[in-house]
Amino acid sequence: MTGCAVSRPPLKTVEKVDLKRYMGPWYVIACIPTFIETEAYNGVESYRLDPDGTIDTVFTFNNGGFDGAPKRYNPRGFVVDKVNNSTWGMQFLWPFRSEFLITYLNKDYSQTIVGRNKRDYVWIMARKPQIPEADYQRLTAELAAQGYDLSKLRKVPQHWPDSARVRAR
C-alpha cells in the first residue's frame, strides 16, 4: 500500500520577507479552500505585527454571495523562521498551529502565494481585488510547478466599489 503514497519535496519559501511591508490587507484572488471558505466572496486576510512578534490576523468574507452573511476569523500568526520570515504557524485553535508558507512574493509586495507542504490548501493573494489575467496565469503556473492540483483551485469573487475597499487597520 505504501507504493500508492505520493511523496513531494517540501515547498521552497521566499528568501526574505520584510514583515512590516507584508502587513496589511490582502485580497484572496484564488485558493484551494478550507471548509470555512468554500463559498467565500470578497475574501480579505489582514495582518498586523504585534509588539510581541506575533501576527494578529483577521480573515473576513461574505458567505455564499456578495450580500451573504459576513464572516470573521481571527487566528494568530507566529513567525517560525526568524531569518527569512517566510515560514509561519497559524493558530485558529489552541494548541494547534497550521503551516503557513510564503512561497511567492513579488518585489513590490503586491502579490503573494501562501501554501502548505501537503498541497491541500493554497492562497493567491494581492493588494488589489483583481489582478491582470497574465499575472493570474503566471501564478497558477507557479502552483502547478509546486505540485498543486489546479482543478481544486477556486477563484474568489471580488467586487468592491472604490469607496468600500479595505483599508489597512
| pLDDT at residue 169 in the model | 44
CA distance 161 to 16: 34
Separation of CA 87 from chain center: 12
What pLDDT score does 6 carry?
A: 59
Distance CA 55, CA 79 (A): 8
> What is the pLDDT, as a whole number, of residue 63?
97
Residue 2 confidence class, pLDDT cut points 50, 70, 90:
very low
Contact 126, 114 (CB under 8 A): no
Please state, for a pLDDT cut of 70, what percent of the chain lies above it.
89
End-to-end Cα, the chain, rounded Å: 50
- Locate the domains of the chain by residue range: 10-159
Per cent of the chain over pLDDT 90 is: 85
Which pLDDT score, from 0 to 100, does residue 94 have? 53
The CATH class, in words, for 10-159 is mainly beta
Q: Closest Cα to residue 33, out of 125, 152, 141? A: 152
Q: What is the pLDDT of residues 23-81, one digit of tens each?
A: 999 999 999 999 999 999 999 999 999 999 999 999 999 999 999 999 999 999 999 99
DSSP string, 10-45: PPPPPS---HHHH-EEEEEEEEE--GGGTTEEEEEE
Q: How confident is the model at residue 3 (pLDDT cuts 50, 70, 90)?
A: very low
CA 48 to each of CA 20, 21, 24, 25, 38: distance values in angstroms, whole numbers, following the listed order = 8, 10, 6, 9, 25
Contact by Cβ (8 Å): 70, 58: no
> Which pLDDT score, from 0 to 100, does residue 167 have?
55
pLDDT value for 13: 97
* Cα torsion angle, 64, 22, 56, 95, sign: positive
